[in-house]
Amino acid sequence: MLQITNAFSLSMLDPENVTSVAFIPISSTEAHHQVITSSEWKSLIGHADTARIVGDLLHVVLPADRGSARLADGEILVAQYAGPRLPEGATKLPAGATIKFFRVQQLNGE
């Protein structure tokens, strides 16, 4: 399952089986393709405004969900926000803000 998040935490890893993690930058077009071609995906973005903005960038509806992602449960797509704090009710990125996408892969013994 593809898990869509807006942050990455060490708690998403299985410390018993990981030797390294790869963060692969991808374009919003590649991220969109990854979502629409995935047989199953889930939004794990906890803030509703952030989920809406990321969903707009990916051309899908992303519901807000405060659940936890685990790399062992499938691939993680991180939409990393950089910029000023989103104002309540934001529907687009504020001036100077960006969202960059990363595909995260756990590398086991490689």
Cα 79–3–17 angle (5° rounding)? 105
Which of 109 and 82 is assigned the larger pLDDT? 82
Q: Decide if pLDDT at 110 tops 60.
A: no
* pLDDT score, position 107: 76
* pLDDT score, position 15: 77
What's the residue count for the chain?
110
**Pairing outcome for strands 76-82 and 98-107:** antiparallel
The count of domains in the chain is 1
For the segment 6-62, what is each residue's pLDDT rounded down to a tens digit? Answer: 999 988 988 777 778 899 999 999 999 999 999 999 999 999 999 999 999 999 999
Q: Decide if pLDDT at 109 tops 70.
A: no
Which CATH number belongs to the domain containing residue 83 in this structure? 3.40.50.11170
What domain range includes position 65?
2-107
